[in-house]
Amino acid sequence: MNVGVDFGGTRVKAGRVDGAQIVAAESQPTGAGAPPGEVLDQIASLVRRVGGAPSKVGVAIPGEVDAAGRCYRLPNVPGFEGVNIRQELERRLGLPVAVENDSTTAALGELLFGHGRAHQSFLVATLGTGVGGGLVIDGALRRGAHGFAAEIGHLLVDSSPSAPVCVCGLRGCMEVFAGTRGLMARYAELAGRAAEPAAIAELAQQGDAAAARVFAEMGRALGVALGQVQKLLDLDALVFGGGISASFALIEPSLRAALRACAFGPPTAEVPLLVSALGDAAGVLGAAQL
Ligand SMILES: [Zn+2]
């Protein structure tokens, strides 16, 4: 039996996993602001608490790692750049550890336990503060040469010099419009008051024009970016996960319209748009299979 860890910017979750079932789970708020050594101690202690004498541990992180487990970038948990997360956890736990980007891990969970049972080549777009991507082609997970494949949130959708600046430093990235950070900023700009994504979704469902417009803009940005992905890869499904995917019905019409406007051939625009069946469990389930 393996343990999967979902190391998020706000919570760390560990689960003992048997196939597609989480049989024991523990979670805590992430010690953000604490030195990396303390956060790694916290992860190791959660792994011990789920127990069950695991044979290996997989960890999903909201950033990029190389094949050896060294972290390139972890924007929401400071201090981890250059830290070899795999070596540090192996030393603490005395077990083999694998570390992978969380969107890539979610794609692995989807491949084994979700829409991968019916689809061979698909992208999992994780919609949250930012927008991540994980890629499966011909039934195999693809991470790229350095683990940076499918960083779809940073595909360019607005090349004008006045486009909003992204957390990556460039202007006009898709996640500036399709991430919850951008969604909330745009709603505040249009409505003149702030609201959380779930409240904006509820307003949109009740017919609030500003709320409906920000979701339509989100769908359009996703569709423009994914239209380019379809020209490159001709996938047979696009899967959407993460918190905001609960509001997918608000995004879908403009997403489909933008795909149709951008696509090279009709079949690539009519690709099935699916919501992940794994929900919150995708990170832990996928990580346990790394
Ligand atoms: Zn960016």
Q: With cut-offs at 50, 70 and 90, classify the pLDDT of residue 252.
A: very high
Residue of 109, 106, 118 whose CA lies nearest to 236:
118
Residues with beta carbon < 5 A to ion ligand 1? 154, 166, 168, 170, 173
Per-residue model confidence as pLDDT tens digits over 239-249: 999 877 778 99
CA–CA gap between residue 176 and residue 209 (Å, rounded): 21
Domains 2-105+281-288 and 120-271 share a fold: yes
| Domain ranges for the chain | 2-105+281-288, 120-271
User: Ligand 1 centre from 151 Cα, in Å?
Assistant: 9
Per-residue model confidence as pLDDT tens digits over 158-170: 999 999 999 888 9
Enter the CATH code of domain 120-271.
3.30.420.40
- What is the residue-averaged pLDDT of the chain? 92
User: Ligand 1 centre from 56 Cα, in Å?
Assistant: 34
May I ask the CATH class of domain 2-105+281-288? alpha beta
User: Ligand 1 centre from 125 Cα, in Å?
Assistant: 15
Residue of 208, 164, 207, 166 whose CA lies nearest to 190:
208
Q: With cut-offs at 50, 70 and 90, classify the pLDDT of residue 277.
A: confident
User: Ligand 1 centre from 47 Cα, in Å?
Assistant: 33
Phi, psi for residue 188 in degrees, rounded to 5: -60, -40
